[in-house]
């Protein structure tokens, strides 16, 4: 793959390795790029809170090293994200970039990060191409890939006897990648997709026409991916239309994230989702994380919190090898491996994409009357296919 960028980045990349280690040997400057405004603002805050908790929890394992976190709001807009990334790299001279929620932002900043040779730890964006056709030795994923959650869900759902599905998702990169991964796996397992619709992203307030179409489609179930405020609106409107009883919902767990369960209320009950993390995973590592995060924030952690927390730990694990500058962090990050709240996590050296288990869970009413996630299946961890990834430094 060949990529070009301005002379400023080329010069910066050439001098960084010589100067950063000596000048900043005991300080790692971290750029945290997340949405602090707009439909996904709650995600940004959740990621930040957990990232800081991760630094607090594991930072003591690298004595003498401090972490300077510089925060920027990408507003979920690719061009804003690109401008903020350039500012973090050129002006703030960060050693590592993390955060990143939007698949569109990921695509917009990829070439800049690659050309400047700045390691990027993607905590949330599922953009498949970042560890596929546009992979880079400077990009490591610590959250999930869009296909990673949806491919096993498609196979599992067909195995449960669901034959026909109607799909709904927002019309942007993540919506299309998630839906396609599900559709491909569902069809390969013998299922049929009767129709697919994409709703205008961040613009759809009335899901009624789409729900009506789904009810009339003859499908056995609906596959739906929504997140943020759109997830809350969709789930509540689906319940108000009386569709759930006759047409159950399945989808990636962002639809019923812990972050939105309280707002969705009883409307979320019965929805079955698949995800790499829920706060009800019954392990010592997860119980410790849940307790610590709840003490800090006052609520249970979502998958977004988990991703921020593990992004911090990944950077710290890299720093434990002695890595403190861009070049050494970029080399160390793809080699990190640890067992955390979601289970065992490793990085596939072929793509720098992570390998992790996927949990299928149902939203049920808990003992205190509030909704909760009941894990009903654990799907084995597997590596995503390379999808055109060829690692190249230039």
Q: Tell me, yes or no, whether 264 and 156 share the same domain.
A: yes
Determine the structural domain holding residue 363 and report its residue range. 147-275+358-379
Q: Tell me, yes or no, whether 237 and 116 share the same domain.
A: no
Q: Tell me, yes or no, whether 244 and 367 share the same domain.
A: yes
pTM, rounded to two decimals:
0.88
**27 pLDDT exceeds 50?**
yes
Q: What is the mean predicted confidence (pLDDT) over 284-303? A: 97
Residue 390 lies in a domain: no
Residue 393 lies in a domain: no
Residue 20: what pLDDT?
42
Residue 391 lies in a domain: no
Considering its fold, how many domains does the chain have in total? 2
Residue 387 lies in a domain: no
Q: What is the mean predicted confidence (pLDDT) over 92-114? A: 96
Q: What is the mean predicted confidence (pLDDT) over 40-63? A: 95
Residue 2: what pLDDT?
39
CATH label of the domain that carries residue 236: 3.40.50.2300
**7 pLDDT exceeds 70?**
no
Burial class (CB in 10 A: 0-12, 13-18, 19+), 147: buried
β pairing state of 371-379 and 358-365: antiparallel
Strand ranges for the chain from DSSP E: 27-34, 66-73, 96-99, 120-122, 139-141, 164-170, 192-199, 221-224, 249-252, 272-275, 338-340, 343-348, 353-355, 358-365, 371-379
Q: Tell me, yes or no, whether 13 and 122 share the same domain.
A: yes
Q: What is the mean predicted confidence (pLDDT) over 290-295? A: 98
Residue 386 lies in a domain: no
Q: Tell me, yes or no, whether 215 and 338 share the same domain.
A: no
Both structure tokens of 239: 């319940």
Residue 392 lies in a domain: no
Give φ, ψ of 139 to 5 degrees: -120, 125
| Per-chain mean pLDDT for the chain | 92
Residue 165 lies in a domain: yes
- pLDDT tens digit sequence for 327-383: 999 999 999 999 999 999 999 999 999 999 999 999 999 888 889 999 999 998 889
Q: Tell me, yes or no, whether 230 and 365 share the same domain.
A: yes
Residue 366: what pLDDT?
87
Residue 367: what pLDDT?
83
- pLDDT tens digit sequence for 127-171: 999 999 999 999 999 999 999 999 999 999 999 999 999 999 999
Q: Tell me, yes or no, whether 200 and 305 share the same domain.
A: no
pLDDT bin (cut points 50, 70, 90) of residue 118 is very high
Residue 394: what pLDDT?
66
Residue 230: what pLDDT?
95
Q: Tell me, yes or no, whether 241 and 288 share the same domain.
A: no
**13 pLDDT exceeds 70?**
no
For residues 202 and 311, what is the distance between their CA atoms, to the nearest angstrom?
27
Q: Tell me, yes or no, whether 158 and 266 share the same domain.
A: yes
Residue 33: what pLDDT?
98
For residues 384 and 130, what is the distance between their CA atoms, to the nearest angstrom?
12
Q: How many other C-beta atoms lie within 10 A of the C-beta of residue 324? A: 23
**12 pLDDT exceeds 70?**
no
- pLDDT tens digit sequence for 221-280: 999 999 989 999 999 999 999 998 899 999 999 999 999 999 999 999 999 999 999 999
- pLDDT tens digit sequence for 295-307: 999 999 999 999 9
Residue 325 lies in a domain: yes
Q: Tell me, yes or no, whether 218 and 364 share the same domain.
A: yes
Q: Tell me, yes or no, whether 249 and 296 share the same domain.
A: no
Residue 372: what pLDDT?
95
**69 pLDDT exceeds 80?**
yes
Q: Tell me, yes or no, whether 235 and 368 share the same domain.
A: yes
């Amino acid at each position: 793959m060949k990529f070009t960028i301005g002379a400023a980045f080329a010069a910066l990349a050439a001098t960084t390795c010589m100067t950063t280690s000596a000048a900043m040997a005991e300080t790692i400057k971290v750029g945290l790029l997340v949405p602090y405004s707009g439909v996904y603002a709650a995600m940004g805050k959740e990621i930040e809170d957990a990232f800081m908790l991760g630094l607090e929890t594991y930072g003591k394992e690298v004595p003498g090293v401090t972490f300077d976190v510089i925060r920027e709001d990408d507003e979920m807009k690719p061009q804003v994200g690109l401008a903020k990334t350039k500012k973090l790299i050129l002006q703030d001279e960060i050693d590592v970039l993390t955060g990143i929620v939007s698949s569109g932002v990921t695509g917009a900043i990829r070439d800049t990060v690659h050309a400047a040779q700045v390691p990027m730890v993607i905590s949330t964006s599922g953009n498949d191409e970042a560890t596929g056709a546009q992979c880079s030795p400077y990009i490591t994923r610590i959250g999930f890939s869009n296909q990673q959650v949806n491919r096993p869900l498609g196979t599992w759902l067909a195995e449960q006897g669901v034959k026909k599905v109607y799909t709904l998702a927002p019309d942007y990169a993540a919506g299309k990648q998630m839906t396609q991964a599900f559709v491909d796996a569902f069809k390969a397992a013998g299922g049929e997709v009767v129709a697919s619709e994409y709703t205008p992203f961040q613009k759809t307030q009335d899901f009624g026409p789409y729900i009506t179409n789904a009810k009339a489609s003859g499908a056995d179930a609906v596959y739906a991916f929504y997140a943020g405020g759109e997830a809350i609106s969709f789930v509540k409107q689906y319940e108000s239309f009386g569709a759930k009883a006759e047409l159950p919902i399945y989808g990636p767990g962002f639809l019923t994230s812990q972050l939105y369960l309280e707002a969705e209320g009883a409307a979320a009950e019965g929805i079955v989702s698949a995800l790499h993390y829920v706060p009800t995973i019954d392990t010592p590592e997860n119980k410790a994380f849940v307790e610590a995060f709840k003490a800090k924030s006052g609520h249970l952690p979502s998958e977004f919190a988990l991703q921020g927390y593990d992004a911090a730990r990944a950077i710290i694990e890299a720093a434990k090898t002695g890595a403190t500058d861009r070049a050494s962090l970029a080399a160390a990050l793809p080699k990190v491996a640890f067992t955390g709240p979601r289970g065992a996590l490793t990085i596939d050296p072929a793509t720098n994409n992570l390998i992790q288990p996927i949990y299928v869970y149902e939203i049920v009413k808990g003992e205190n009357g509030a909704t909760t996630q009941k894990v009903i299946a654990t799907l084995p961890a597997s590596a995503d296919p390379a999808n055109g990834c060829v690692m190249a430094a230039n």
